[in-house]
Amino acid sequence: MNVGERIRDRRKQLGWSQERLASEACRAADVGLNALGRQEIYRYEKGIRTPRDWLPAIAQALGLSVQALSGEDSGGGEALTGIWCSRYTYHSTSRGQVTRRHFVNLRRIGNRLYGESLPGSNDSPIFLELTQDGPALTGTWTERTAAEGYYKGAVYHGAVQLLVDLPGCTMDGMWVGFDKSFKVNSGPWTLTYESADTTRRALARYNRPPAD
């Protein structure tokens, strides 16, 4: 498989159009959105041209290392760093099933991943600390509820385990933790990949509530 085929396959795994990839690559390179167009992505994927200068930006946009995209890394090079949309569900005795959504900035140090929600995505921030072992991520979560919200600024924490799918686009798993009555509960937790771009401009773009 050549670099163009890897670009095409990863783009399709993410469900992106060629226009979307071109825009994301421009954001990763921190240049104007017209600096790279759909036609160039088409040429790269068809092998008509080689994306020498654009390879780092395209790799970052796709959430891959340059080595993985160029075929030099047989392990796939999935770093998992970037912006993810987090969604988890819990049962409230007074409100029934509740789903909370955040945009989370995930960064890697060694085999550990640290996540922090963007402040504008939810007024109850969450924090993740995970250790990776192959496709499995195991660790802890903390949520600081909004001071003026239903839970009056309470802090909750617990454990979480997630499994990363093969393309590296989704993490699915379960959380466990205690509620305000100190009863242990659990529920589903999913994170969906949004962008490898964590520049100031990208963080500002995702500093908003995720769509339902």
Q: Residue 8 pLDDT more than 80?
A: yes
Owning domain of residue 30: 3-70
CB 139 within 8 A of CB 130: yes
State the chain's mean pLDDT as an integer: 88
Q: What is the pLDDT of residues 124-143, one digit of tens each?
A: 999 999 998 888 999 999 99
Note whether 40 and 101 are same-domain residues.
no
Domain at 25, CATH number: 1.10.260.40
pTM over 0.85: no
pLDDT of 76: 36
Domain at 161, CATH number: 2.40.160.90
Question: pLDDT-based confidence at 80, cuts 50/70/90?
Answer: confident
162: its two tokens: 């997630």
207: its two tokens: 């500093």
Residue 100 in any domain: the answer is: yes
Query: In angstroms, how far is CA 47 from the centroid of its own chain?
Result: 29
Report the C-alpha gap between 88 and 174 in whole angstroms: 9
Note whether 54 and 12 are same-domain residues.
yes
In the listed set 50, 70, 90, which residue is the last one of a domain according to the structure?
A: 70
Q: Residue 89 pLDDT more than 50?
A: yes
Q: Residue 62 pLDDT more than 90?
A: no
Q: Residue 75 pLDDT more than 50?
A: no
Note whether 44 and 103 are same-domain residues.
no
Residue 75 in any domain: the answer is: no
Note whether 91 and 153 are same-domain residues.
yes
In the listed set 46, 70, 94, which residue is the last one of a domain according to the structure?
A: 70
Residue 211 in any domain: the answer is: no
Per the structure, the count of domains in the chain is 2
Q: What is the pLDDT of residues 13-36, one digit of tens each?
A: 888 999 999 999 998 888 988 899
Report the C-alpha gap between 162 and 89 in whole angstroms: 14
Note whether 60 and 105 are same-domain residues.
no
Give the mean model confidence (pLDDT) for residues 61-88.
74
Q: How many CB atoms lie within 10 A of CB 168?
A: 22
pLDDT of 63: 79
Report the C-alpha gap between 201 and 30 in whole angstroms: 8
In the listed set 17, 45, 70, which residue is the last one of a domain according to the structure?
A: 70
Report the C-alpha gap between 39 and 20 in whole angstroms: 12
Note whether 100 and 64 are same-domain residues.
no
Note whether 44 and 109 are same-domain residues.
no
Note whether 86 and 164 are same-domain residues.
yes
Note whether 94 and 187 are same-domain residues.
yes
